[in-house]
Every structure is written in C-alpha cells, then in structure tokens.
Structure 1
Amino acid sequence: MTSHQTQLLFLDLALIIALARGLGTLARRIGQPPVVGEILAGVLLGPTLFGDLLTGHLFPADVRPLLTALADIGVALFMFVVGLELEHRLLRGRARVSAGAAVGSTLVPFAFGTGLALYLLRGHGTDQRAPFVVFMGLAVSVTAFPVLARILADRGLSRTELGAVALAAAALVDVVAWTALAGVQAVVGGAGDYWRVALIVPFTALLVAARPPLRRLLAPAAGTGAAGPGAHRLGALVIGALLCAAATEAMGMHYIFGAFLFGAVLPRDAVAPVRDEICERTGHVTSLLLPVYFVVAGLKVDLRGVGPGGLADLAAILLVAVLGKFCGTYAGARSQGLAPPAAGRLAALMNTRGLTELVILGVGLQLGLLDQGLYSLMVVMALVTTAMTGPALSLIDRRAPARAAEPEREAPGVPVPAAAPAPAPGRTGSLR
C-alpha cells in the first residue's frame, strides 16, 4: 500500500463519514430514517451526479478494494446484530396474525416479482434465467427489520400490539429471505462444488450445539449489572461472528449468512440482559463502516443513461414492489382478523427496505444476476420505498382519524428490540 493510497483512503473515509452523517441528520429532521440520507450520500458520490472523472479521482480503482474490505466488515457486524435482534418471544400470543401477515408479505410480492422478472428479461437478459426470476421475486419481497424497528420506536409503537405483530412478521420475512437467497447463491455461485454448500447443515447443527457454552460465556455478564458484557465477552462474540462469516464464505455462500446465523442462534435468555449494550458497542463500529458500504454501492449506481425505457422499467419495479407488499400484507393480516386500519398501517410498515435490500442487491450484482443498469434502478426502488413508509403511515392515519386518535393498546410482555430505545449515535439497529 503506497503513501498515496493511504492518503486517499483517509480522505475518502473522512468525506464519506461527514457526508453520510450530514445527510443522515437532515433525513431525520424531515421525519425519515437516517439510512435514507446515507444511501443518498452513496448515490451522490457516484457517477450519476459528478460523472466518472471526479468519481475516478476521489475513488480510484486501487483504493476501492480497500474501501470494499472495510464495508464488508461493517456489513458482517451489522448482520450479526440483525440476527441478534430477532426476538423469538414476539410470536407469543400473536403467532397467527404475524404468520398470516408474513406469508402474505412474502408470497404475493414474490409472485408479482416473478412476473416483473419475465418483463425485465427483455432488456436485462442473463444466462441464469431461472435464478434471475427467483432473485427478483425475492428482491421485492424483503422487509428491513432494523429500519422497521427504528420507525416503530420513533412513532411510539414499539410496545403496542401492532408493533409486536410488525416486528414478528418482519423477522419471519427476513429469515425466509436470507434462506432463499442462500439457495439462489448455492445454485448460481456454487461452481459445481455443491458439496461445499451442503456443509451449511452440519455447520448450523454445530452452532446449535454450541449454545450451552455460549450461554455459560454470557451468563456472568447477566449478573454484573452496569458492568455489561465485558470487553472479553464482546470480543468473543465479534470473533464468533467473523469466523462464522468466513465459514459460510468458504462454503460458497455469502459471508452475511454466517454472521446473521451466529447472531440468530445465540441463547436469548443469556443474551437478553446485555443485548442492548452489545448492539450499542458494535454499533459504534458499524455506524462508521456502513456508510462506506453505501458509497461502495453508490459507485455502481449510474442513472445518467436512464432513458424512456429505463424510466418504464423503474415505474414497473416501483409498482410491483409497493403494490405487492401492500396488497400481500393487508390481505394476510385481514385473513387473520386484523382490523382494516391496523392492517393498512402494518402494510405500510412492511414496505420499508433500507440496507437489507442493498445487501441483497449487492449479492445479485456479484452473482451476475443484475447488470449495472438494473442494479441502479433497484437501488432507487430501495430508497423510495424506505422513504415513503413514514408518509404512507401518516396518510393512513389521516384517512382513519378516529382510529388514529386512539392510543395503541400496549401489548403485555412485548420486549422492546435493541432498536427501540432513544437514538444513540453508535446504535446499529437505530440507524438502519
């Protein structure tokens, strides 16, 4: 690494963090999750606004791999926290309506997405037609659990029955999405070594078998009160997440699956007393590294050549993504007896996507399922659907003023996810 590369790396990091923090703060002030401003920061630093010349000087080819490496570490830790924040107890007493909403929120947009894929194949052809169709169905079906948790916290809905149902449904959708994405990558990226992908079964069994020692590792922290998890315990969890990320990458799958799986299998009874502090401490790192991921993703977004055909594709993508989520979630929730106003609000909440969508799109681009033009349009979809969640909720509340004026009934025993407390500068779940 030359001195010039070192200078550019530090300069780029300073620029990325400053712009991401500034636009993230601006987004929060206008009622949007900070992730909206951070994604926008990545797009603005890409070739869409400044062209290849300025972008090439700011982020030359020999520095981008260094930024990508930092971004990958941030995403791996973020996915560990997403898995850690999945709360199994959310399903207690509301499994039926949560499952109904999750099924509708997955199957309907997936069906719409497969039809969209057949339409997009005309202008964005690929040799992997079947995986492309499945991937597009998956890409419009995802819900960003951490962003949803932040929106619920901001609106005071975290402890309500609606908030509990939304979080439980989003958790189920996320699990299905990551599992399906792992299957797609196994088919497309296996390079014939499918036996390596099959190692995920004994690997998962090994992680489950490791729960008792993990419980013993975390147990002392549960009784130390303010002492929290302790530096060595936190270090052990981070090491575990990184090792699991490396393991799934070696299996021919993406590193995000290992980090997510490690967080998801941690024993909840031992993690619960220290989970918030673990998320906060990890968030100090991810809050600095995730904006790098947005910029790395934004450097691949080029909207300069979007013509009438591209605008038509974007309109189709937005229509399918929004209608699929709204109609599917609403129908699934109503089928289980949820009242129309609450079902409408749930449908609006489940439409948010955020960083989760960007991670999935990055995998699709890496696998060659998306070309750069379609990737750019899908990033715009992720930005728009995340930004429209708050206004959509406000619109639904205005159309049902009597119902909106009533306080949401607090759901007894609903644990607040790590993203629910007041915003903390380094908190991962609170930002995405």
Structure 2
Amino acid sequence: MSSYQVPPLLLALALISLLAFGAGAVARRLRQPPVVGEVVVGILLGPTLFNGLISDTLFPTDIRPFLTALATIGVVLFMFTVGAELNAGLLRGHRVVAGTVAAGSIALPFGLGALLALYLFPRHPTDSKLGFVLFMGAAMSVTAFPVLARILIDRGLSRTWLGSVALACAAIDDVLAWSLLAVVVAVAGAGAGSVWVLLFVPYVLAMFLVVRPLLRRLLAERAEGGPPRPSALVITLVGLLLSAAFTDWIGLHYIFGAFLFGVVMPRSVLPEQGVTAQVSERIIHLNSRLLLPIFFVVAGLKVDLSTMDVSDAVELGLILAVAVGGKFVGAFTAARLGGVAPRPASALAVLMNTRGLTELIILAVGLELGMLDGQLYSSMVVMALVTTAMAGPLLQLLYPMPSGRDTAPPHAPDLEPAGVPGR
C-alpha cells in the first residue's frame, strides 16, 4: 500500500461509517431494520446513479482492494456472531412446529428457485448448470436470523410464543441454508480443489469433539455471569481467523469456518451473561459501525440498476414472486398443518421472508463463484432489500402496535409468553 493511498482510504472509511450511521437511523425512524438503510446507501453510492461518477469520486479504483479486504473481515466477524447466537434452547417446547415450519419454508422456495434457475440459465449461463440451479434454490431459501431477532425485539414480540417459534425456525433455516450453500461451493469446485473439501466432515467432528471442550477450558469464567478473562477476546479472534482460513483453504469458503467456530463456542447457563455473549458483544460494536458498512458499500458498487431493460424487469418480478411466494406459502402451509392458527401462521410466514445481510453474503459468494453475473446479482440484491423491508409493515398489519410507541401489540391468545401454549 502506497503512502498516497492512505488519505483517500481513511477519508472513505470515515464517510462510509457516517453514511451508514445516518442511513441506519433513518431506517429506524421508518420502523425498518438498519440494514435496509445501509444497503440502500450502498446501492446509491454505486454505478446505478450518474454512471458511477459518485463511486469513482469517493472510492477510487486503487483503494477498492483494501475496502474489499476490510469487508471480508467484517463478514468473517458477522458469521461468527451468527453462529455464536444460535441457541439450541430456542427449540425447547417448539421442536415439532419449528421443524415443520422450517422444513416448509426451505423446501418450497428451494424447489421453486431451482425451477426458476432452469428458466434463467439460458440468459445467465455459468460453468456449472447444476451449481447454478442449487445456488438459486439456496438463495431463495434464506432467512436472516439476526435481522429477524432485531425485528422481534423492536416490536416487543421476542418473548412471546410467536417470537420464540419464529426464532427457532430461523435458527434451523440458517443451518440448512449454510449447508445447502456448502454443497453449492463443493459442486462449483471453487478454491483449492474438490479433493481437499473432503476434509470438511473430519474438521466439523474435530471442532465439536476437540476444539469445543478446549475452548470451554480456555475461556472458563471466574463465576457464572462474571467477566471473561482478558485473553478471551484474543483466543476467540485467533481461533476464528484460523478456522475461516482453513475452510477457505480446503475450498469451501471462509464463511463456513467463521460460522462453525461461532457454533462451537461454549454456552453459559445464562446465555446472555456468558463469556461467548460478552465476547460477541465486543466484536459486534466495531463490526456494525465500520466493517459491515464497508461490506454494504462494496456490495453496492457491484449493483447496477441503470442498465435494466424490460426483460430484466420481468426477471426481477419472477425472482420476487418466487422468493416471497415460496417462503410465504411454504411456511404458512407447514404452520397450518402443524396446528398453528391462521394469524400466527401468517406472521411466521412473513417473518421467514426476512433475508437481510445473510442473503447479501450468500449473493456475494455466488458472484465470487461465477454463479451470478452482474445483472442477476443486481436483481437478487433488490429482492433481498424488498423482502427485508416488507416484513415490518406486514407484521404491523397482523399485530398492530400503538402509533409512535415501541411496545408489544395488544394481548392476543397466540402471543402468550413462551412456554404457555397459545392455541
């Protein structure tokens, strides 16, 4: 890195942080997750407006590789926190309905996405037709656990029966979606080669049987709920980066190693007070203010909606129909078959459509693997934005909140506290 590149890079980082903070604040005022505002800013800074004049001025080509590197670190840290926040306890008392809804919200959109891929393939050919079909199915099946959790907390639903089931479904969806993407990466033959990818299964076993007990000993707390040792953050970061590097080296992509390391982090009896939660909280602060906004900008620089024609608009309509319809019908039908009443079943279907940053990461992987070209990537990013933005307003229709107040909706039988059957 040359000395003349330092000032524009630092100025770009300052601008990204400021714009992301402002966009997130505006999104909150509109009762939207901050990620919606941040993604919109990323797109507006890209080539969509003024033929790329804004992006070329603010983010010169010679500093973009450094932005991409920082964005990669942000994604690694984010995937760690996603894995660390997965909690098997969410399934307690909700295994049947959560498993049924999760299966429905994965199976139908995956199947429809695969069929759509067959239709799109002639216009967007790739080296692997099978990889493209599997990727589109996986991309349509995603539910963003972190964004969904934020929506439920903001609306006072996180400790209700509906909120608990929705979080359990999203947790299952996350695991299944990442598993599907791992298959896509293996089929595509990316990275170091298909032979080394066979090491992934032994690696997963080693992580749970060896690394997890070792982490429990190294990160042992002084007392339940007490502060972690000063070395806890360093141990976590070193292990996280090594895990991400290993899975990328064997050809599976670094996101899987980061996610898996988060999953094997030791859990406390009181998860919100444990060492894992405290370490994750420290990581999230820096990541959400600087590194992830860089990812949004880097992703936005690759989105170009200015060249869309009628055919592209038709494709976008089909993508939205499959994404929204597949998730909603799959989740709603599965919930009704599981004995859930119509209104909470509709709410679950709406929440399962939340895709957020998780979808953007999957799309970035698809672009990197050559599964998506520039135009299809742009359309899929719009789909991710629309499906995330619509969750709040649709949930408001089902469970209205008093205007201007962030309190729980009026009492309803299907919103009884978690653990008390709603119907």
Would you call these one fold, judging by a TM-score over 0.5? yes
The letter for the 1-side match of 2:241 is: L
Name the residue aligned to 2:38: 38
Task: Give 1:73-152 correspondences, 5 Å limit.
Answer: 73-152=73-152
1:314 to 301, 316, 338: 316
Deviations for 1:158-192, whole angstroms, at most 9, x for unmatched residues? 11111111111111111011111111111213478
Q: Is the 8 A contact 1:117 1:132 kept in 2?
A: yes
Name the residue aligned to 2:263: 264
Does residue 232 of structure 2 align to residue 233 of structure 1? Answer: yes
The letter for the 1-side match of 2:337 is: S
Q: Is the 8 A contact 1:20 1:41 kept in 2?
A: yes
Q: Is the 8 A contact 1:126 1:132 kept in 2?
A: yes
Q: Distance in 1 between matches of 2:22 and 2:229?
A: 32
Does residue 246 of structure 2 align to residue 247 of structure 1? Answer: yes
Q: Secondary structure at the match of 1:63?
A: helix
Does residue 184 of structure 2 align to residue 184 of structure 1? Answer: yes
Q: Is the 8 A contact 1:190 1:197 kept in 2?
A: no
Residue 197 (structure 1) shift: 0.2
Q: Is the 8 A contact 1:218 1:233 kept in 2?
A: yes
Deviations for 1:38-58, whole angstroms, at most 9, x for unmatched residues? 111110110101323332232
Deviations for 1:27-71, whole angstroms, at most 9, x for unmatched residues? 001100000001111101101013233322322222111001111
Q: Distance in 2 between matches of 1:129 and 1:221?
A: 54
**Unmatched runs of 5 consecutive residues or more in structure 1:** 399-403, 414-432
The letter for the 2-side match of 1:333 is: A
Q: Is the 8 A contact 1:215 1:270 kept in 2?
A: no
Q: Distance in 2 between matches of 1:267 and 1:274?
A: 8
Residue 219 (structure 1) shift: 2.3
Name the residue aligned to 1:166: 166
Q: Secondary structure at the match of 1:101?
A: helix
Q: Distance in 2 between matches of 1:256 and 1:178?
A: 9
Q: Distance in 2 between matches of 1:109 and 1:123?
A: 21
Name the residue aligned to 2:404: none
Residue 18 (structure 1) shift: 0.8
Q: Quick one: structure 1 residues 406 and 263, their matched pair in 2 at CA, closer, same or farther if it must change by over 3 Å?
A: same
Task: Give 1:63-74 correspondences, 5 Å limit.
Answer: 63-74=63-74
Q: Distance in 2 between matches of 1:315 and 1:4?
A: 45
Q: Secondary structure at the match of 2:399?
A: helix
Name the residue aligned to 1:409: 416
The letter for the 1-side match of 2:418 is: A
Q: Distance in 1 between matches of 2:393 and 2:53?
A: 37
Q: Is the 8 A contact 2:82 2:262 kept in 1?
A: yes
Q: Is the 8 A contact 1:45 1:295 kept in 2?
A: yes
2:380 to 373, 378, 381: 378
Flag as ranges the 4+ runs of structure 1 deviating above 4 A: none
Name the residue aligned to 2:347: 345
Q: Secondary structure at the match of 1:231?
A: coil
- Between the two proteins, the alignment pairs up a number of residues equal to 407
Q: Distance in 1 between matches of 2:225 and 2:352?
A: 37
Name the residue aligned to 1:48: 48
The letter for the 2-side match of 1:116 is: L
Q: Distance in 2 between matches of 1:61 and 1:192?
A: 28
Name the residue aligned to 1:61: 61
Name the residue aligned to 1:212: 213
The letter for the 1-side match of 2:104 is: G
Does residue 283 of structure 2 align to residue 282 of structure 1? Answer: yes
Q: Distance in 2 between matches of 1:60 and 1:163?
A: 44
Q: Distance in 2 between matches of 1:379 and 1:193?
A: 29
Deviations for 1:257-312, whole angstroms, at most 9, x for unmatched residues? 00100111223237822343222211122111000000000000001100111111
Q: Is the 8 A contact 1:101 1:332 kept in 2?
A: yes
Residue 373 (structure 1) shift: 0.4
Residue 343 (structure 1) shift: 0.4
Q: Is the 8 A contact 2:12 2:58 kept in 1?
A: yes
Q: Distance in 2 between matches of 1:366 and 1:329?
A: 30
Deviations for 1:107-162, whole angstroms, at most 9, x for unmatched residues? 01111111111221232222311110111011011000000000010111111111
Q: Distance in 1 between matches of 2:215 and 2:192?
A: 35
Does residue 189 of structure 2 align to residue 197 of structure 1? Answer: no
The letter for the 2-side match of 1:282 is: I
Name the residue aligned to 2:406: none
The letter for the 2-side match of 1:115 is: L
Q: Distance in 1 between matches of 2:328 and 2:316?
A: 18
Task: Give 1:294-309 correspondences, 5 Å limit.
Answer: 294-309=296-311
Q: Distance in 1 between matches of 2:225 and 2:316?
A: 53
The letter for the 1-side match of 2:397 is: L
Over the aligned positions, Cα root-mean-square deviation in angstroms equals 1.7
Residue 314 (structure 1) shift: 0.7
Residue 396 (structure 1) shift: 2.5
Q: Is the 8 A contact 1:188 1:367 kept in 2?
A: yes
Name the residue aligned to 1:387: 389
Q: Distance in 2 between matches of 1:230 and 1:25?
A: 34
Deviations for 1:390-423, whole angstroms, at most 9, x for unmatched residues? 011112236xxxxx6324211149xxxxxxxxxx
Q: Distance in 2 between matches of 1:156 and 1:279?
A: 23
Q: Distance in 1 between matches of 2:419 and 2:276?
A: 20
**Unmatched runs of 5 consecutive residues or more in structure 2:** 401-408
Quick check: 209-218 or 49-58, which moved more? 49-58
Q: Distance in 2 between matches of 1:182 and 1:270?
A: 31
Q: Distance in 2 between matches of 1:50 and 1:2?
A: 29
Task: Provide TM-score, normalisation by structure 1.
Answer: 0.91
Residue 217 (structure 1) shift: 2.0
Q: Is the 8 A contact 1:222 1:274 kept in 2?
A: no
